[in-house]
Amino acid sequence: MKAINKPDLIGGFIVMAFCALAFFLGRGLPEEARAFPLFLLGCLAVLGACLAFNGWRGKRVVEKSVFEIELEMEDKVKSQAEAGQPAEPASVAEPKPESENIFLIFLTVLLAVAYVAALPTLGFTLSTPIFIFVTLRLLGMRRYLTLVLISVLTTVTVFVVFKTVMYVSIPGGIFDPTELMYRYLIP
Amino acid sequence: MIENIALGLTAALTPWNLLAAVASTMAGIIVGALPGLTATMGVALLVPVTFSMEPVTGLIMLSGIYCGGIYGGSITGILLHTPGTPAAIMTMLDGHKMTQKGMAKQALSTAVLASFCGGMMSSVALLFLSPPLAAFALRFGPPEYFCLALFGMTIISSLTTGSVVKGLIVGFFGVFLSTIGLDPSLGLPRYTFDVPDLMSGLDLVSALIGLFSIPEALSLITKRMSAEESLIGEIKGSMFLKLSEYWRLATNFIKSSIIGVVIGIIPAAGPVIAPFISYREAQRSSKIPEKFGTGIPDGIVASEASNNGVTGGSLVPLVTLGIPGDAPAAIYLGALTIHGLQPGPLLFQKSPQVVYGLFVGFFVVQFAMLALGLWGSRLFAQVVRLPKTIIVTFIFFFSIIGSLAMNGNVFDVWVMLSFAVLGYFMKRYGFPAAPIVLGLILGPMLEDNLVASMAMSCNNPIIFVTRPLSLIILCLAALSLVAPYLGNLKRMFKK
């Protein structure tokens, strides 16, 4: 018996649980409004069961990575090479193991969430430079002068471009230089 | 038709639009060249920017990024053995070998020429196939559109490269998500949890930005870039192939372009699948199949011609029927909606300057791509030197600001972030992202037309089979469902 494909098994159950939850939440609606979503949920539940079942049976579907495609080509080329051809240099790059730095990813997303949450209150001009600065620093950039420069320049450029060229509305917040800008920069 | 083309010419050939075409193509090439940034991402991030522009300008800019992006991936693929875009994987196979043989310049120029050929073919298809298709679509009523949307959904099963079950789950989930909002028959709010922002449903472009930009950025955080930058300095030799070579490759150029256009027209099939198919076909019909993969221009031609052929092809069903040929085309839908335009035959009738302006602009973009590619390939390759930290940060920043800028609504940014997180987990556990797009777009088409069809036929589902057009489309849908299994059937019978 093959090893259980746990992610798929759990995934299937999550899908089915979602269907149950959505079904429960939609109970209040009359039939015509509910019909279509309910049908979809039914199909989803069946598919979730299939996924869980396949996972339990240990089925694994692997998408060919670029590396594997290359290996295939290399093999084909080698098997069809004629005697007189010069040897091709071994050029297939080893697949570099990608360390899943989940913590870093989580932090970056958290930063993005914090930025968006802060936008209405702190405003664009204040939160943006902070966001860019902290994110760049978190991801490894060290030269503080460059950090500050990039943060400030980006904020200013985007702000000016959005407000003048594109008339986009951006949360002002406490430090909103829109008034100042319109009074001094724009004749 | 001629008057419409003239209309398109006047709309597209203004100085401002020409500048937009060139600038966006250049941006597209850069985005495509950067590994980790995809053409889809570029198009998604650009849509909010087009908000305040004229529709034609906006659509031309999207086309520039789209076509440029699809071509740009070949540059880093050829020079640095890393495809800038998944579409360039097959280009990289022969392209990089050519670089190792010292023929990098020729590889690069071949890639541009092939992309140009594919792009021109798709522009021609776009210009000449769309009007008749739109006219034909005038005969479509709700039952036909319902079956068409159904057809679009069945394509998911035949084109998912990984687990079909997962693809279907994602597709159905997308359709389910599209039901959030007011229901079409009674106008009652569904799954809105008293949040007023949800009454009109989830914002499509924000969802797309979240799904296609951020997960890529997140995986960039962990990826190690190839350290073969030193190769950039070693490009020498002549730029073009011998004339006889081009003559030999002529059939390849044309056939691969056509394959690309056809695959582009089929919804959900896109620039990633097309190169595989055309590569295999070129190899099969070649006089030197054993040399494919050793560093011959044929591989590059096959791959690049078809992946650029997809670009215009994917816009054909979008513009005429509202069904995108692949992910970037789906984003065009968002751009059209922003300007209050709806794809379909009415668009051709009411705003022909927009449609034909796009068509003409598409041609312009191809020429821009040709010029930029021939002249500046090496320059664009330097782009890889940009530090990852900056790339990731700015992807996040522009995703956030972009989704904010569209409606000035912070809620859309939360939608974007939610889809970003969802997209990350989907990527990690092998769930394809593209079917969600199809589901989100086709969902309303399915339900609205189902309700209308039922109203037309007094709740009798037989209407779908009694109307001839609808029946034909249903058969096509059934065919596409079983197509992937036909191969298995054949094998079983042979035994």
Chain B contact set for A65 (CB, 8 A) = none
pLDDT of residue A57: 79
Q: Which two tokens stand for residue B398?
A: 């522009």
- Among B219-228, B313-322, B425-434, the range scoring the smallest mean pLDDT is B219-228
Query: Measured between CA atoms, how close is A124 to chain B, in angstroms?
Result: 10
Q: Give the mean pLDDT of B426-437.
A: 83
The answer to whether the Cβ–Cβ distance between B93 and A70 falls below 8 Å is yes
Q: What percent of chain B has pLDDT over 90?
A: 17
**Mutate: best of B47, B273, B393, B399, partner A, most A CBs <10 A:** B393
pLDDT for A117-173, tens place per residue? Answer: 888 887 788 888 888 888 888 887 778 888 888 888 888 888 877 776 555 566 655
The answer to whether the Cβ–Cβ distance between B162 and A63 falls below 8 Å is yes
The SS3 call for residue B67 is helix
Q: Kindly list the distances between the CA atom of residue A98 and the CA atoms of B222, B223, B420, in Å, as whole numbers in the listed order.
A: 6, 6, 20
Enumerate residues 6+ apart whose C-beta is below 8 A from A117: none
Q: Which two tokens stand for residue B169?
A: 């789950």
Chain B contact set for A37 (CB, 8 A) = 176, 179, 190-191
The SS3 call for residue B181 is strand
pLDDT of residue B98: 84
The answer to whether the Cβ–Cβ distance between A132 and B397 falls below 8 Å is yes
Confidence bin at A62 (pLDDT 50/70/90): low
Q: Which two tokens stand for residue B477?
A: 């849908």
- Can you tell me the distance from the alpha carbon of B337 to that of B330, in angstroms, rounded to the nearest whole number? 11
ipTM above 0.90, yes or no: no
- Can you tell me the distance from the alpha carbon of B342 to that of B319, in angstroms, rounded to the nearest whole number? 9
pLDDT for B53-105, tens place per residue? Answer: 888 899 999 999 999 999 988 888 888 777 778 788 888 888 888 887 778 88
Query: Measured between CA atoms, how close is B1 to chain A, in angstroms?
Result: 34
- Closest Cα to residue A118, out of A158, A173, A156, A175? A173
pLDDT of residue B119: 93
pLDDT of residue A82: 41
Enumerate residues 6+ apart whose C-beta is below 8 A from B494: none
Which of B169, B401, B446 comes nearest A158 by C-beta? B401
- Torsion angle (degrees, nearest 10) of CA B387, B392, B397, B400: 160
Query: Measured between CA atoms, how close is A140 to chain B, in angstroms?
Result: 7
The conformation of residue B176, written as its DSSP 8-state character, comes to H
pLDDT of residue A85: 41
User: How many cross-chain Cβ pairs, A to B, lie less than 8 Å apart?
Assistant: 174
pLDDT for A66-91, tens place per residue? Answer: 455 555 666 655 555 543 344 443 33
Residue type, B54: E
Which of B172, B421, B429 comes nearest A11 by C-beta? B429
pLDDT for B5-60, tens place per residue? Answer: 888 888 888 888 899 899 999 999 988 888 777 888 888 888 877 877 888 899 99
The answer to whether the Cβ–Cβ distance between B293 and A77 falls below 8 Å is yes
Sign of CA dihedral A83, A86, A90, A91: negative
Q: Identify the residue with better confidence: B146 or B489.
A: B146
Residue ranges of B 202-261 with Cβ closer than 8 A to chain A: 218-219, 221-224, 226
Chain B contact set for A170 (CB, 8 A) = 404-405, 408
Specify which of A37-51, B326-340, B428-442 reaches the highest per-range mean pLDDT.
Answer: A37-51
Q: Where are the beta strands (DSSP E) in B138-222?
A: 181-182, 189-190
The answer to whether the Cβ–Cβ distance between A141 and B387 falls below 8 Å is yes
Query: Measured between CA atoms, how close is A169 to chain B, in angstroms?
Result: 6
pLDDT for B231-270, tens place per residue? Answer: 455 556 667 777 777 888 888 899 999 999 988 888 766 7
Q: Is the pLDDT of residue A34 over 60?
A: yes
Radius of gyration from C-alpha coordinates of chain B: 22
| Residue B173 contacts A where some CB pair is shorter than 8 Å | yes
List B189's β-bridge partners, or say none: B182
The answer to whether the Cβ–Cβ distance between B397 and A131 falls below 8 Å is yes
* Sequence spans of domains, chain A: 6-56, 102-184
- Can you tell me the distance from the alpha carbon of B477 to that of B146, in angstroms, rounded to the nearest whole number? 11
Q: Where are the beta strands (DSSP E) in B172-296?
A: 181-182, 189-190
Residue type, B206: S
- Can you tell me the distance from the alpha carbon of B46 to that of B404, in angstroms, rounded to the nearest whole number? 13
The answer to whether the Cβ–Cβ distance between B162 and A113 falls below 8 Å is no
Specify which of A68-82, B210-224, B296-310, B325-339 reaches the highest per-range mean pLDDT.
Answer: B296-310
| Residue B52 contacts A where some CB pair is shorter than 8 Å | yes
Which of A33, A98, A108 comes nearest B188 by C-beta? A33
pLDDT for B269-315, tens place per residue? Answer: 677 778 888 888 888 888 887 777 778 888 899 999 999 999 989 99
- Specify whether the CB–CB gap between B210 and A68 falls below 8 A: no
Q: Is the pLDDT of residue B430 over 70?
A: yes
pLDDT of residue A127: 86
Q: Is the pLDDT of residue B132 over 50?
A: yes
Global pTM reads: 0.78
- Specify whether the CB–CB gap between A136 and B390 falls below 8 A: yes
Query: Measured between CA atoms, how close is A137 to chain B, in angstroms?
Result: 8
* Sequence spans of domains, chain B: 2-494
pLDDT for B380-421, tens place per residue? Answer: 767 767 777 888 888 888 888 878 877 777 888 899 999 999
Q: Is the pLDDT of residue B434 over 80?
A: no
- Can you tell me the distance from the alpha carbon of B241 to that of B103, in angstroms, rounded to the nearest whole number? 10
- Closest Cα to residue B337, out of B436, B140, B200, B174? B200
- Can you tell me the distance from the alpha carbon of B115 to that of B117, in angstroms, rounded to the nearest whole number? 5
pLDDT of residue B73: 87
